[in-house]
A and B are shown apart, each in its own frame.
Chain A
């Protein structure tokens, strides 16, 4: 999904807006709205090459959903935030249950409501307590469950999305360069998990021997210390 250039949909009717305020109070109405939305995106996903048997929004359907929300799925972290909030399990896919139940829980039953809630969701995700959970979620969400490693490319993109603002790290680019030079195929869960803490650790007096860092970090620090002249 990530590497494909987005295309405008052929023609799929947009559901008309029913309620400007937000979710209807009646559960059934909210349910219906969400179901309609779900159908729209599922259909598009299937049409654009998804698996018809899966009762979920996949691939292109997801892209369309994002565009309707007004976000770029490739550079905006909101997709992931929504996935996290919906507790989506399978990589880049929202099942019916996840979608409907999730948005009901979030009290956002139509696109307008979602758009209004989006800033709140963004703030939530960067909260001190929530961000670590969100960060971890991104790892497992971005790869098939059976796979142990997250491919380096995917990890790189994720890190670029996630390590922003307060958590921005000045060595991020060096880190990516290091991974590329070393030909690291994939990132283990341990490395992913320890990464934010590592980014906060100063390199002076780095404890190679006694430190419990994953070996990859040790090597990165060593490489950085051995080539200080590189700008």
Chain B
């Protein structure tokens, strides 16, 4: 302080005086007010007094137009004041208990904030001009920054340590004062004030980073401990609990930016180690069907990147093995029951569908692994013993397609009576879902088609059921797949129309045949192929047949009728010993019997000639009539040959006039062919043929559109296009390509043999 002479001398001392006043007022009034909790108020008058000093000093105009130094001085005075104030209240943090330190720091900070707030009001005038035009911090910022330098820097490490200690205690289960922690951490956050972009700069460096490391270490230790002490499920429970806890903690007293990194660290430490030892844990859960634990495991693993694929792989393996066990079980059972097999499949499908939905949240990765697993074991054929074959004969392989279609057959036949609509719908949905896993879908179609044709022609059919299943298949596979099946149903209905029309026609013409004739018209191509025999039909039937053929021709154009007599049934009225019987039998059998109206005795060969049928068919008919349950015919063996169980051409037959039975209406059984083996082989054969055509058609289609194409691309395209119907073997495709080359649909390029060109 100089009492300097000169024109500014007085001002200096005035300034000096002013500063001194301010300082005193500051200490006496402001500090005291705040530190006493405003018991000694800082009145408006006090405030005005200080403010006036500042104002006067700043606005004093100097006569000499010299630069007013007042603002600078005032500013630095302000800074000094605050600094001095803080220096007097330094915190010696060493040796202080954590709790005490926290409270002290918090309190200091709160006080300081108040002081600054109040003082700023006094020095506020500086902010209007001085700090704005210079690069100085505003008074507020300056004041707060003083805290940073004076108190914070010294104390921050210990403060942090104190906070950590509290957090540790809380993690160990103690209850701590969260408000206090919040405030303490708030200090760190507030220390970043002034840096507009990085509000949390100080916080990040001084608190968050060390905190994350601290947390990481803690959980690493915890993880090791849990691993040693607990089972995997317990571990998972604890992990989940801790994660929730940390989330709450972040919300309660950390800065919102810390939430994500914190969770990330915990996940990393707790869960990634879990991944490594996860081998058997998850499988055990599946085995015991512990749904909650499965759900928890899923929740935890889906948090970590790449957490889900390993366990979904485990799921795939487990489901595949469970499925294969089912196949094994049915393979080793003495008699293969399609019902039991299908039921098992439906059950396992239902089980995993529900797990996927409820526990696994429809996660697509899991959905895929379950789908793959099903595809793996559904396509495994079941080994089955041929019915009635002697032990030691090799087993045959029965595919899922056949078993499922048998099941559908049963459903269609019995369903309506036994199940109500909703239940049936449900079962059908599930069956179609299983169908979706089959690779060779065209196999299924063949089996189903054959069985459908039998149902439509021979048994009673529940139209709604049939349509329901077909529409479900259609939705899954597209219209071309089910077009033939729909055609079959349509034919059945159309046949009824034709029948009615024919009857009207006959009535109009006043024609009768002496019996009731019913015709069914089937469209070739939709129905499986039937063998056509050029049977010699008895006269009465022939008249009816011819009449219908004429009638049909007149009603339609360019259609040819082929009569499939092997499918027909006849009801014959027979009189034996003056007893009337109504006998129901096949057309072939009926034709045999009707011949006996003309002659009493026939040999097998004669019958064959008369009927114009191959011997096998005649033999079957004769066996059923002469040696079956109802002996309508008597067989005589010529003396030379021995008595045999079967029928020969040389045997003689005549009507058994002594035939009798309790009931009047009888159904003559037919000799059943060795069903399963041949049946399946036939299906296999026709599917193979269809596939050959499908592959060729597909190849030609691709060639036509591409004109020029490389071999591997062609094979790939073809396989892809056919994949929805069946899995095509690349070698078969190759053979078809060779076939097309030989038939000159395509050729190899002269320079590049692996390049094919389409020949128009």
- Cβ A210 vs Cβ B711 within 8 A: yes
CB closest residue in chain A, given B743: A148
A215 touches B734 (CB 8 A): yes
Inter-subunit contact B730/A209 (CB<8 Å): yes
Give bound CA distance, A35 to B742, whole Å: 39
* Beta-carbon contact of A197 and B731 below 8 Å: no
Q: A210 to nearest B CB, angstroms?
A: 4
A148 touches B734 (CB 8 A): no
CB <8 Å contact, B742 and A189: yes
Contacting pair A215 B711 (CB below 8 A): no
Q: What CA separation (Å) do A189 and B743 show in the bound complex?
A: 11
Give, as a whole number of angstroms, the nearest-CB distance from B755 to chain A. Answer: 8
Is A194 in the interface zone, CB < 8 Å from B? yes
CA distance A188 to B742 in the complex (A): 7
Q: Which of A197, A209, A211, A215 is close to B738, meaning CB atoms less than 8 Å apart?
A: A215
A181-216: CB near B (< 8 Å → 1, else 0) gives 000000011100110010000000000011110110
CA distance A193 to B735 in the complex (A): 16
Q: How would residues 729 to 746 of chain B score, 1 for a CB under 8 Å from any chain A CB and 0 otherwise?
A: 011001100100110000
Minimum C-beta distance from B636 to chain A (A): 49
Total chain B interface residues with beta-carbon distance under 8 A: 13
A215 and B730 contacting across the interface, CB-CB below 8 Å: no
Whether A209 touches B712, Cβ cut-off 8 Å, given contacts A190-B748, A215-B734, A215-B735, is yes
| B711 close to A212 (CB less than 8 A) | yes
A218 to B711, CA, bound (A): 14
B251 to chain A, nearest CB (A): 58
A148 touches B738 (CB 8 A): no
Interface presence of B754 (CB below 8 A): yes
B753 within 8 A of A: yes
Size of the A side of the interface (Cβ < 8 Å), in residues, is 14
Q: Could you say which residues of chain B place their CB within 8 Å of the CB of A193?
A: 748
Which residues of A160-191 are within 8 A (CB) of B?
A: 188-190
Contacts of B756 in A (CB 8 A): 212
Q: Closest residue to B713 on the A side, CB-wise?
A: A210
Cross-chain contact of B753 among A189, A197, A209 (Cβ < 8 A): A197
Find out whether the CB atom of A194 lies under 8 angstroms from the CB atom of B734. no
Task: Write out the residue numbers on chain B whose beta carbons fall within 8 Å of the beta carbon of A209.
Answer: 712, 730
Chain A proximity of B414: nearest CB distance (Å)? 48
**Cα-based distance from A148 to B735 in the complex (angstroms):** 16
Given contacts A190-B748, A194-B753, contact A211 B742 (CB under 8 A): no
Q: Which residues of A contact B731 (CB under 8 A)?
A: 215, 218
- CB–CB A212/B742 < 8 A: no
**Residues in B76-114 with C-beta less than 8 Å from chain A:** none
Report yes or no: A190 in contact with B738, Cβ–Cβ below 8 A.
yes
Measured CB to CB, the closest approach of chain B to A139, in angstroms, equals 13
Q: How far is the CB of B748 from chain A (nearest CB, A)?
A: 7
Say yes or no: A148 contacts B753, CB within 8 Å.
no
User: In the complex, A197→B731 CA distance in Å?
Assistant: 21
Contact B712 A210 (CB under 8 A): yes
User: Mask for B704-748, Cβ within 8 A of A = 1, else 0?
Assistant: 000000011000000000000000001100110010011000001
Q: What's the Cα separation between A189 and B747 when bound, in Å?
A: 11
- Nearest CB in chain A to that of B731: its residue: A215
Min CB distance, B668 to chain A, in Å?
Answer: 48
B residues in contact with A210, CB < 8 Å: 711-712
Say whether A211 contacts B748, CB under 8 Å: no
Q: Mark A148-167, 1 if CB is under 8 A from B, else 0.
A: 10000000000000000000
B714 to chain A, nearest CB (A): 9
Of chain B, the residue at the smallest CB distance from A193 is: B748
| Min CB gap B343→A, angstroms | 40
Q: Taking the nearest CB of chain A, how far is it from the CB of B752, in angstroms? A: 9
A211 touching B741 by the CB < 8 A rule?
no
A212-B735 in contact given A148-B742, A188-B742, A190-B742 (Cβ < 8 Å): no
For A211, list chain B residues within 8 Å (CB).
711, 754
Q: Does A190 contact B741, Cβ atoms closer than 8 Å?
A: yes
B756 to chain A, nearest CB (A): 8
A85 to B230, CA, bound (A): 91
Q: How far is the CB of A140 from chain B (nearest CB, A)?
A: 14
Which chain B residues lie closer than 8 Å to A148 at the CB level? 742
Contacting residues of chain B (590-613) with chain A, CB-CB under 8 angstroms: none
Minimal beta-carbon separation of A207 from chain B (angstroms): 9
A212 touches B754 (CB 8 A): yes
Residue of B nearest to A188 (CB): B742
> Which residue on B lies nearest to A132, using beta carbons?
B750
Chain B residues 287 to 340 lying within 8 A of chain A, measured CB to CB, are none
A75 to B712, CA, bound (A): 41
Shortest distance between the CB of B749 and any CB in chain A (Å): 10
Q: CA separation between A190 and B742, bound complex, in Å?
A: 7
Give chain A residues whose Cβ lies under 8 Å from the Cβ of B738. Answer: 188, 190, 214-215
Contacts of B730 in A (CB 8 A): 209
How many angstroms from the CA of A203 to the CA of B263 in the assembled complex? 58
Closest to A214 in B: B738
**Nearest chain A CB to B656's CB is how many angstroms away?**
54
Beta-carbon nearest neighbor of A191 in chain B = B738
Residues of B within 8 Å of A194, CB to CB, are: 748, 753
Chain B residues closer than 8 Å to A188, beta-carbon distance:
738, 741-742
Minimum C-beta distance from B154 to chain A (A):
75
User: Which residues of B sit under 8 angstroms from A218, Cβ to Cβ?
Assistant: 731, 734
Q: Roughly how many angstroms separate A214 CA and B733 CA in the complex, as a whole number?
A: 11
How far in angstroms is the closest Cβ of chain B from A24?
41
Q: Closest residue of chain A to B735, judged by CB?
A: A215
Q: Which chain A residues numbered 117 to 155 have a C-beta less than 8 Å away from chain B?
A: 148
Please measure, in the bound complex, the distance between the C-alpha atom of A215 and the C-alpha atom of B754, giving whole angstroms: 13
Bound state CA distance, A160 and B742, in angstroms?
24
Q: How far is the CA of A188 from the CA of B748 in the complex (A)?
A: 14
- Pick the 9 closest A-B CB pairs, nearest first: A212-B711, A212-B754, A210-B712, A190-B741, A215-B734, A188-B742, A214-B738, A215-B735, A190-B738
Apart from A194-B753, A210-B711, 14 more pairs, CB < 8 Å = A188-B738, A188-B741, A189-B742, A190-B742, A194-B748, A197-B753, A209-B730, A211-B711, A212-B711, A212-B753, A215-B731, A215-B738, A218-B731, A218-B734
Using a CB–CB distance below 8 Å, which chain A residues touch chain B?
A: 148, 188-190, 193-194, 197, 209-212, 214-215, 218
24 sampled A-B residue pairs with Cβ under 8 A: A148-B742, A188-B738, A188-B741, A188-B742, A189-B742, A190-B738, A190-B741, A190-B742, A190-B748, A194-B748, A197-B753, A209-B712, A210-B711, A210-B712, A211-B754, A212-B711, A212-B712, A212-B753, A212-B754, A214-B738, A215-B731, A215-B735, A215-B738, A218-B734
